[in-house]
Amino acid sequence: MSRLDPPLPPCVIHEDDHLLVVDKPPGWNTHAPAPHAGEGIYDWLRHREPRWAPLAIVHRLDKETSGILVFGKTPTANRSLTEQFARRQAHKRYVCATDRPVSREAFVVRNRLERVGDRYTAVRSGDLGDLAETRFRVVRREGGLTWLEAEPVTGRTHQIRVHASGEGLPLLGDVLYGGTPSARLHLHAARLQLRHPETGAEVTFEAEAEFQSPASRQLREGFIDPVETTAHRAVHGASDASPGRYVERLGDWALVLAEDPSGFPVSDLLLPGVKGVYGKRWTRQVCALAAEEASPRLLTGEEAPERFEIVENGVRFELSLREGYSYGLFLDQRDNRRRLLRGHVAEGFAVHREGDVHPEVLNCFAYTCAFSVCAALGGARTTSLDLSRKYLDWGRRNFVLNGLDPAGHDFIYGDVFDWLKRLAKKPRRFSFVVLDPPTFSRSREHGDFRAESDYAELVGLALPLLAPDGVLLASTNAARLRPEDFIDNVRGAVQRSGRQVVQERFQPQPPDFPMSREEPGYLKTLWMRVS
């Protein structure tokens, strides 16, 4: 299987011409809760593959609930599934657990529900609210827990959770409804039975519940193929119930980022298959740390070699834990690199126009040239521009790792702002331009650059190099720059140049960097086709 034709994400358990069925991991919304929030599993899938563009939501699961979720791929499927769910012809079975004593072997709860703030509650009287009915049955009792099967006859939001809590049996981990705190909500959609929209035959989809491993690990296992991708963020601060701590899986090693990375139990840091764990002081003011303070240090296990390889979406990259603050790859750009590698941004948005046989790609602030490697594997000729010769040499090694001849591509050492002006005079034109600058940088030629205030200037310098109908990838990790302001800055620069935006797609950070109230998003990427 080629890099351009990867395997299905692990969460997909069935696909045919009409249906896509997934085992949704806990901690992932069904769909994005807001325009600039993290993608839900529906958004992530729909824009991942061209054939999944028609995906439609016909039912939902709560963010913290795991299990079977079906999407329609055709109008026929959407009509059939919608009718079956509306007429209660689709049968769902959930597995759940409570640590409260259950006196009855089977019982039915039937009432009306209404929303009050973030919760739903049973209506005491009258005809207000939505009618909801759930049938419960005890499956087993063990270890102080009672495991139940829950059949929701209706499909109301939080229905099973509200009904269990109303009976004095809040689910384990459901603190919103009075449950005992736990590593995850103990509620899983284990079985879905329905008629196939094309044949009418009865089909059943099942997925085993997993409540032992951390929800953060289950989330990553749902969309990261461990063969195709061996580097990802394993723990993302408060969004993974670990405030102030971030853990990155880097092949056979793990890296802990925290104010005091040694202040956590070693047993909490060991991921499956990890040979050694490194720690690195984490601070938003990277420049305030001396090089020695910023360098990773071995906390436990084997020491990593000076250079080692990881795989991302089937692409090989060289990393090093002995190069100061950065180890050679920014993991939060993984999905953007995949989009460039595969030439597909989102529904109806291809990276290159048809007939563009040998596209030219300019990668500014190239670092170790990861975007360039993906573009080259996708058939483009690349120009990588960076202020560090060391990182450009590192980039050349990444080309070689993937069977690419660096001699067929350009590597330019120098200040990006200076070179954008020089290239515009030649003139050079590129069908794709990558702008992923550091939040703050300083050069002798240009002076200080701050993404919050200077991003529009950078876009204005790059646009003369972008060919008509070319694509601009504008990205920033400036946490204090709101998505709305970032988008306005980029759009404004395009308008002032006298050009127009033909297509546009905003992308938040990938799902292994989950966004939450406690851990807001920071990475913002705007894909634009510009006339």
pLDDT digits (tens, 9 = 90+) for 431-480: 999 999 998 877 776 778 888 889 999 999 999 999 999 999 999 999 99
Q: In the predicted model, what is the mean pLDDT of residues 320-325?
A: 88
Is 357's pLDDT higher than 80? Answer: no
285: confidence class by pLDDT, cuts 50, 70, 90: low
Q: In the predicted model, what is the mean pLDDT of residues 295-324?
A: 95
Q: 174 is written with which tokens?
A: 């459901």
Q: What is the CATH number of domain 12-206?
A: 3.30.2350.10
Local structure of 73: helix, strand or coil: coil
Give the list of residues 6+ apart from residue 339 with CB closer than 8 angstroms, or none. Answer: 345, 346, 351, 527
325: confidence class by pLDDT, cuts 50, 70, 90: confident
The CATH homologous superfamily of the domain defined by 330-530: Vaccinia Virus protein VP39 (3.40.50.150)
Q: In the predicted model, what is the mean pLDDT of residues 261-283?
A: 79
356: confidence class by pLDDT, cuts 50, 70, 90: confident
CA nearest neighbour of 253 among 232, 268, 274, 235: 274
Domain ranges for the chain: 12-206, 224-311, 330-530
128: confidence class by pLDDT, cuts 50, 70, 90: confident
Percent of the residues in the chain that have a pLDDT greater than 70, as a whole number: 95
Measured CA to CA, the distance from residue 261 to residue 240 in angstroms comes to: 16
CATH 3.30.750.80 assigned to domain 224-311? The reply is yes
Measured CA to CA, the distance from residue 475 to residue 435 in angstroms comes to: 6
- Write the secondary structure of 142-188 as one string of H (helix), E (strand) and C (coil): ECCEEEEEEEECCCCCCHHHHHHHHCCCCCCCCHHHCCCCCCCCCEE
Cβ atoms within 10 Å of 403's Cβ, excluding its own: 8
- As beta bridge partners, residue 132 has 111
Q: What's the pLDDT at 270? A: 63
Cβ atoms within 10 Å of 23's Cβ, excluding its own: 24
Measured CA to CA, the distance from residue 415 to residue 404 in angstroms comes to: 26
Q: How far is CA 316 from CA 7, 80, 455, 488, in A?
A: 17, 44, 31, 36
Whole-prediction pTM value?
Answer: 0.93
Local structure of 113: helix, strand or coil: strand
For the segment 159-213, what is each residue's pLDDT rounded down to a tens digit? 999 999 999 999 999 999 999 999 999 999 999 999 999 999 999 999 999 999 8
Local structure of 456: helix, strand or coil: helix
Cβ atoms within 10 Å of 9's Cβ, excluding its own: 17
Q: What's the pLDDT at 363? A: 98
Q: What's the pLDDT at 3? A: 56
Q: What's the pLDDT at 120? A: 95
324: confidence class by pLDDT, cuts 50, 70, 90: confident
Q: How far is CA 262 from the centre of its chain?
A: 28
Q: What's the pLDDT at 318? A: 98
In degrees and rounded to multiples of 5, residue 497 shows phi and psi of: -80, -5
For the segment 237-248, what is each residue's pLDDT rounded down to a tens digit? 999 999 999 999
1: confidence class by pLDDT, cuts 50, 70, 90: very low
- Residue 331 DSSP one-character state: G
- Residue 332 DSSP one-character state: G
Q: In the predicted model, what is the mean pLDDT of residues 279-284?
A: 82
Q: What's the pLDDT at 271? A: 73
Is 284's pLDDT higher than 70? Answer: no
Is 507's pLDDT higher than 60? Answer: yes
Q: In the predicted model, what is the mean pLDDT of residues 126-133?
A: 83
Tell me whether the CATH fold assigned to 12-206 matches the one assigned to 330-530: no
> Which residues are catalytically annotated?
62
Q: In the predicted model, what is the mean pLDDT of residues 211-224?
A: 94
Beta-sheet pairing, 430-435 with 466-476: parallel
For residue 300, which amino acid is it?
A: T
Q: Which residue has the higher pLDDT, 380 or 447?
A: 380
Give the list of residues 6+ apart from residue 124 with CB closer than 8 angstroms, or none. Answer: none
Q: What's the pLDDT at 87? A: 95
Percent of the residues in the chain that have a pLDDT greater than 90, as a whole number: 85
Which residue is it, tokens 């409540």?
211
Local structure of 373: helix, strand or coil: helix
Q: How many CA atoms lie within 13 A of 239 on its CB side?
A: 25
Measured CA to CA, the distance from residue 98 to residue 171 in angstroms comes to: 5
- As beta bridge partners, residue 393 has none
Q: Which residue has the higher pLDDT, 162 or 287?
A: 162
CA nearest neighbour of 18 among 47, 55, 48: 55
Q: In the predicted model, what is the mean pLDDT of residues 233-261?
A: 94
Exposed / middle / buried, residue 327 (Cβ in 10 Å: 0-12, 13-18, 19+)? buried
Q: How high does pLDDT run on average in the chain?
A: 93
In degrees and rounded to multiples of 5, residue 503 shows phi and psi of: -135, 155
For the segment 41-73, what is each residue's pLDDT rounded down to a tens digit? 999 999 999 999 999 999 999 999 999 999 999
Which residue is it, tokens 């736990």?
182
Q: How far is CA 431 from the centre of its chain?
A: 27
296: confidence class by pLDDT, cuts 50, 70, 90: very high
Q: How far is CA 525 from the centre of its chain?
A: 13
For residue 260, which amino acid is it?
A: D
Contact 224, 10 (CB under 8 A): yes
In degrees and rounded to multiples of 5, residue 269 shows phi and psi of: -95, -15
Would you report the helix, strand and coil content of the chain in percent, each value rounded to 5?
25, 35, 40
80: confidence class by pLDDT, cuts 50, 70, 90: very high
Beta-sheet pairing, 253-258 with 245-250: antiparallel
Contact 313, 6 (CB under 8 A): yes
- As beta bridge partners, residue 380 has none
